[in-house]
Amino acid sequence: MKKLLPLFCILGFAAQPVFAANDLNNLQALAQSEFRALSEDLGSALSYKPLTPAEPLGVSGFDMGIEVTSTKMSKSEQAWKTATNSSSGLGTIYVPKLHIAKGLPLDIDVAAFYSAIPTTNVKLTGVELRYAPVPGGVATPAVAIRGSYTKMSGVNQLSFNTKGLDVSVSKGFAMFTPYAGVGQVWVSSKANVGTLAAENFTQSKVFVGVNVNLGVTNIALEGDKTGGTSSYGLKLGFRF
Q: SS3 sequence, the chain? A: CHHHHHHHHHHCCCCCCCCCCCCCCCHHHCCHHHHHHHHHHHHHHHCCCCCCCCCCCCCCCEEEEEEEEEEECCCCHHHHHHHCCCCCCCCEEEEEEEEEEEEEHHHEEEEEEEEECCCCCCEEEEEEEEEEEECCCCCCCEEEEEEEEEEEECCCCEEEEEEEEEEEEECCECCEEEEEEEEEEEEEEEECCCCCCCEEEEEEEEEEEEEEECCCCEEEEEEEEECCEEEEEEEEEEEC
Task: Give me the domain span that covers residue 70.
Answer: 2-239
CA dist., res. 34 & res. 20, Å (int): 22
Residue 14: the pLDDT is 42
Mean pLDDT of all residues in the chain? 90
Q: pLDDT tens digits, residue range 175-219?
A: 999 999 999 999 999 999 989 999 999 999 999 999 999 988 999
- For the chain, the domain total comes to 1
Instruction: Indicate whether 34 pLDDT > 90.
Output: yes
Q: pLDDT tens digits, residue range 126-173?
A: 999 999 999 998 889 999 999 999 999 999 999 999 999 999 999 999
Question: Any idea which of 55-59, 90-94, 203-207, 219-223 has the lowest mean pLDDT?
Answer: 90-94
pLDDT band at 89 (very low <50, low <70, confident <90, very high): low
CATH number at residue 29: 2.40.160.20
